[in-house]
Amino acid sequence: MNKVYLTTPIRDEDIRDLRIGDIVYLTGELITGRDDVHQRAIKQGKALPVDLAGKAIFHAGPIMQEDVSQSSGYRVISVGPTTSMRMDRYQKEFLEKTGVKLIVGKGGMGPKTTEGCVQQCAIHTVFPGGCAVLAAERVEEVERVEWLDLGMPEAMWVMRVKDFGPLIVSIDTQGNNLFERNKKGFAEKQEPIIEQINKSVDFLH
């Protein structure tokens, strides 16, 4: 398990040799984008209001609080990852369109995203799910917000972060996929277990 510190803009050579299970800490720009951002950008083909090339996107819908002392007018209260699988449908095209290098989320993503990571030299990583205050404390500043008409959880929040992590690499640039591997293991393991349980649940008369 390697431990790596990355700074945006991220170059291909910064992440090419990372492998699933490696741990990353990110410094620089991290921008939230979840269901609606992906569908606006890809299905509706709208131009993105933030240049994402070399940056990191965060599958997350934060709790932000209005704060006039901040230049963006907001400060972050709580911001943990959301289920990445929901973005699987458009993630590959999103990577192609934007040049995003690092995805942060939780749980796995499927074969299509994996293909996108290989083709675009990008990685998917997971932040410990539900640990939203921990994550918020690594945010230095909320720089601005775009597409706020989508509502607080779905908007694009541009945040400057420092040593944001631990981010566990779950899809690497070689196409290795940590959660697909785990899932396969679970599926194999559960068969004999289910069989065993089912020997003793024949309650029907």
Partner 1 sequence: MDSRFLTASDAKARLTDIVASFTDYSSKHLPDDVVERLREMSEAEHSEFARIIYDAMFENMDMANRLDRPVCQDTGLVQYFVRVGTAFPYMDVIEGALQEAVLQATQSAPLRQNAVEVFDEKNTGTNIGYRVPWIEWEIVPGRDDIEIYMYMAGGGCSLPGMAKVLMPLEGYEGIVRFVFDRVTTLGINACPPLLVGVGIAGSAEVAAKLSKKALLRTIGSENPNPRGAMLEKQIRDGLDAVGIGPGGLTGAESVMAVHIEHAARHPATLAVGISTGCWAHRRSRIRIHSNLEYEVLSHRGVAL
Which spans of this chain sit near ligand SF4 (rule: CB under 6 A)?
Answer: 80, 129-130
Q: Which residues contact 43 (CB under 8 A, 6 or more apart)?
A: 90
**Residue 195 to residue 148: CA distance in whole angstroms:** 51
Least separation in angstroms between residue 126's CB and ligand SF4 is 11
**Residue 69 to residue 65: CA distance in whole angstroms:** 11
> What are phi and psi for residue 199, nearest 5 degrees?
-70, -25
Q: What is the largest CA-CA distance in the chain?
A: 70
- Given ligand SF4, partner 1, none, residue 47, with its beta carbon under 5 to 8 Å by kind, binds none
Per the CB < 8 A criterion, the answer to whether 135 and 87 are in contact is no
Catalytic status, residue 38: yes
**Residue 22 to residue 65: CA distance in whole angstroms:** 33
Provide the 10 A C-beta neighbour count for residue 200: 7
- What's the gap between Cα 145 and its chain centre? 18
Contact residue for partner 1 among 2, 7, 65, 71 (CB under 8 A): 65
- Given ligand SF4, partner 1, none, residue 110, with its beta carbon under 5 to 8 Å by kind, binds none
β-pairing verdict for 156-171 and 139-146: antiparallel
At 131 the three-state DSSP class reads: coil
Binding mask 45-64 for partner 1 (x = CB under 8 A): ---------------xxxx-
Contact residue for partner 1 among 10, 41, 56, 79 (CB under 8 A): 79
For partner 1, give the closer residue by CB, 13 or 66: 66
- Given ligand SF4, partner 1, none, residue 150, with its beta carbon under 5 to 8 Å by kind, binds partner 1
Least separation in angstroms between residue 158's CB and ligand SF4 is 21
Least separation in angstroms between residue 133's CB and ligand SF4 is 11
Which residues here bind partner 1, judged by CB under 8 A? 1, 21, 23, 60-63, 65, 77-80, 82-85, 106-108, 126, 128-134, 136-137, 150-154, 166, 168, 178-179, 182-183, 185-187, 189-190, 193-194, 196-198, 200-204
Q: So which residues are the catalytic ones?
A: 38
